[in-house]
Every structure is written in structure tokens, then in C-alpha cells.
Amino acid sequence: MKKPVRIAVIGSSTAAGQGAEPPEKAWVNRYRAYLKSLHPDNDVINLGLGGLQTFQLLPTGFAVPPKRPLPDPEHNITKALLYQPDAVIVNAPSNDAAAFYGPEEQLQNFDTIIQTARAAGVPVWIGTTQPREFSAAQIEIQMRLKDAI
């Protein structure tokens, strides 16, 4: 029998499952059900929270630039790693663009998250952007970020 896996998810409302009806249709819940169908002890720890930006997913204590939100110690990479996951999925598809944070800032934040997890021996998958009703400038941020990811 294979060893069970534990996956941690950090991110915003899409990760949290906001808007999914019924809640079982949220992607994290569907992924959890799929993994459990492969092995009953597989698990997905969901730390997603609506409204989070990539700065809030950074390690606890990380020094962010002025006028940027601080890391959220209950929903960030530091918290995710406390669960000793086999992998982390980052799903922050649009809130940074909503705040007009460019792809460079987002990619730098993703790099910090990846390096933090790598130091713990944990691989990370970064989800891409998702459609949202945005201005032309915000759509451009989203397109550039999607291409970079």
C-alpha cells in the first residue's frame, strides 16, 4: 500500500471555495475527494481565505515593501509547512491584479514562497490567473503574469 499524501493549499477565495454551490464542487474539495478515492488517508489542508494577496502568503515575519499587506500567519506558507505537507499548491489568481500589483511583484512573492518550501524539502505548484471583470490595465497584468507562470 502506498504512503498517504498530504497537500497544503494556500491562496484566496478560489482556493477557499467561495461561490461554489454546493461547496463540494469547489476545486479544493473536489481534489480532496479525488485523492481520498486513491487512498483514504490522503488529505488536503485548505488554508485559502477570500481577499488574500500574494504578500499575505509570504513567510511569517517577511519584510514586505511599504503599503503592502503583511504576511498572514494563519494562512501563509509558514503555516502550510507546519502541517508537513508532501506538496503545496498556491492559488492566488487575481487579487494582486485587483490592487494593481504588477507581475514582477507577484513573481517575486511566488519565488519567496517556493524558496521557503524548497528549504523544507517541499515542492510547490503555482496556479495561474483566472478571468475577472477588470480594467484593461488589470487584464494586462493578468495576461503578463499568466505568461510568466
Q: How many separate domains does the chain show?
A: 1
For the stretch 1-47, pLDDT in tens is 589 999 999 999 999 999 888 888 999 999 999 999 999 999 999 99
**What is this structure's pTM?**
0.95
SS3 90: strand
Q: What percent of the chain has pLDDT over 70?
A: 99
Residue 127 lies in a domain: yes
CATH number at 117 reads 3.40.50.1110
Residue 1 lies in a domain: no
95 within 8 A of 106, measured Cβ to Cβ: no
* Structural domain of 25: 6-148
Residue 94 lies in a domain: yes
Task: Tell me which residue of 49, 46, 139 sits closest to 94, measured CA to CA.
Answer: 139
